[in-house]
Copies of this chain bind each other. A is one copy, B any other.
């Protein structure tokens, strides 16, 4: 099959050599998944060593003289097709990265983030930021160093944003949030004045049985036409998706005793990520453009499934018989009432549980903190206070402990500084897909009620988003697929329509 995608001789030589790098990425990915799911605690030290050694080896192999020469040769080739151009672009980006970051630095980064993840888990168990603080100091210090190594025009944070979303800058993110946030505030004020608004919910008073919640998630994934021979579901402190090629993705969720919706929503969210990866072109798996390129586009898929399919009355109706199996109490709630529970708006402390309106305040807070940590304007030791102040300012709520606040996300422990803004950008993009998908197929509200309708949505996404994999950038795919640019209009229209109907 490969010859259909790649004709150029240099590219073919590159791909042959790339296989070993793909292998190291593959093994490293599996190792990370294991670290988050099944690794025995005392294995952490040697695991961190292995990950650090792996990072150094990966860089060494990438920077092999012959491989670098091939990349430089490929850059000069004429008449490359889109697949081949994408390969050159991806490798150039990686090459820049590896050339600018010294091996000792990468080794330290790998080792530190392994240790930081351990410390973060420990800190969460003890609900105590001070356990994580010294490690976070080191991570931020390394992030600053990384920005300096990589270089930037205006703000050190730009260098990190670019790692996750090619070309994204601090200014762009600021320009994105500046007009967006007031409109969300406006809508939130509207909702809060509604007679339907409530800050508590009696569905969250008693603990649910974990095994039954697991069964609901399993049945829901089945309704979503999951292929269990490609995608598996496990448990981790922080839900995530790992893809190991178009034939294998692993998603996780977590179980909170009093909130079945959270684990269900995470499951559907991560399913959206996994579906995306498994619907990319399988023949590209072992190449530098295997899987998905844009982190924002990734989030556009998970949010579309979680909020636009998963919030749908017809969808909830379809899984309702499974929902009420969790607890006899739930039988007292009609599909209508259950739907209202699913779509409730309520300023809260935990990002992953946030509704669609307040979610972006959570991201804004993280963005501001990351930006200011990078510039040195604020310090790690002051984070709990800064965090709480910002939550009070933007959301009107204050965490009563570290787990509800500064310790809730795993991103910083993993060294993923510059990732958060893609959550908001991706969410906004999901509404662009929704608009065009509905123009082609009709309302999601109808489609989401049956396995056949779900299959149609999946097929549309495959044709309009998934199949592009990492071949183009986020902006190119938006343009190529539906002729759109990144913007918040569709998303705000969608939010206003949805929540003014309910509240």
Contacts from A to B (Cβ < 8 Å) = 19-20, 22-23, 26-28, 30-31, 34, 38-43, 45-47, 49-50, 53-54, 56-57, 227-232, 234, 244-245, 247-248, 250, 285-286
| The one of B20, B31, B247, B286 that contacts A43, using a Cβ cutoff of 8 Å | B247
Oligomeric state, in copies: 2
Once bound together, how far apart are the Cα atoms of A449 and B231, in whole Å?
A: 45
Chain B residue nearest to A46 (CB atoms) is B245
Residues of B within 8 A of A47 (CB): 248
Complex Cα distance, B397 from A117, in Å, reads 55
Task: Tell me if B38 and A26 are in contact (CB < 8 A).
Answer: no
26 A-B residue pairs with CB within 8 Å: A19-B49, A19-B53, A27-B28, A27-B30, A27-B31, A27-B50, A30-B34, A34-B34, A38-B232, A38-B234, A39-B248, A40-B228, A40-B230, A40-B231, A40-B232, A40-B250, A41-B229, A42-B227, A43-B230, A43-B244, A43-B245, A43-B247, A46-B245, A46-B248, A46-B285, A49-B286
Question: What are the residues of chain B within 8 A of A227 when measuring CB–CB?
Answer: 42
Contact (A247, B38) CB under 8 Å given A20-B53, A49-B286, A53-B20:
no
Additional A-B contact list (14), CB under 8 Å, known A30-B31, A38-B234, A40-B248: A19-B49, A23-B54, A23-B57, A26-B46, A27-B28, A30-B30, A38-B232, A40-B229, A40-B230, A40-B231, A42-B227, A42-B248, A43-B244, A46-B286
Q: Which are the 10 A-B pairs with shortest beta-carbon distances?
A: A43-B248, A23-B53, A27-B27, A41-B229, A42-B229, A46-B245, A42-B247, A26-B50, A23-B50, A42-B230
- A285 partner residues in chain B, CB cutoff 8 A: 46
**Docked complex Cα distance between A113 and B68 (Å):** 33
Shortest A210–chain B CB gap in Å is: 13
